[in-house]
Structure 1
Amino acid sequence: MSGEDTLRVLQQGVFGVLSLLTPEGTPYGIPLTYAVRDGQRLSLYIHCAREGRKLDCLHAGGAAHFVVVGATHVVPEKFSIEYESVMLEGSLSEVTDEAEKRQGLLCIAEKYSAGFDGAACADAAGKATRVLRFDVESMSGKRLRETS
Structure 2
Amino acid sequence: MDRTEAGLNPPEHPMRRRDRALDEAEALGLLEEAEWGVLATADADGWPYAVPVNHAVVDVALIVHCATKGHKLENLAFNPKVSYCVVTEAEALPLELATRYASAIVFGHAELLEDEAEKRAALRALGLRFAAAHPDLVDREIDKDLFRTAVLRIRIERATGKARR
TM-score by length of 1: 0.90
Structure 1: where are the runs of 5+ without partners?
Answer: none
Aligned equivalent of 1:60, options 73, 78, 92: 78
SS at match of 1:51: coil
1:75-90 mapped onto 2 (5 Å cutoff): 75-90=93-108
1:139 aligns with 2:135: no
Which of residues 122, 143, 146 is equivalent to 1:104? 122
Report the CA distance between 1:79 and its aligned residue: 1.2
Is the partner of 2:86 in helix, strand or coil?
strand
Q: Kindly report the root-mean-square deviation, in angstroms, between the aligned alpha carbons of the 2 structures.
A: 1.2
**Corresponding letter in the other structure for 2:93:** V
**Secondary structure of the residue that 1:23 maps to in structure 2?**
coil
Give the match's secondary structure for 1:25: coil
For residues 107-126 of structure 1, what are the structure 2 equivalents within 5 Å? 107-116=125-134, 117=136, 118-126=138-146
The amino acid of 2:119's aligned partner reads: K
Residue 33 of structure 2 corresponds to residue 12 of structure 1: yes
Cα shift at 1:114: 2.0
Cα drift, residue 4 of structure 1? 3.5
Helix, strand or coil for the counterpart of 2:91? strand
CA distance in 1, matches of 2:54, 2:122: 12
SS in 2 for 1:11: helix
| In 2: Cα distance, 1:24 partner to 1:113 partner | 39
In 1, the alpha carbon distance for the partners of 2:90 and 2:37 equals 14
How many angstroms apart in 2 are the aligned matches of 1:15 and 1:114?
Answer: 16
Matched with 1:95 is: 113
CA separation in 2, counterparts of 1:112 and 1:24?
36
Q: CA deviation at 1:134?
A: 0.7
Distance 2:93 2:46 in 1: 38
- Say if 2:82 and 2:109, in contact at 8 Å, map to a contact too: yes
Q: Name the % identity.
A: 30
TM-score normalised by structure 2 residue count: 0.82
Deviation, 1:7, is: 2.2
Post-superposition offset of 1:97: 1.3
The aligned counterpart of 1:129 is 149
Displacement, 1:113?
1.7
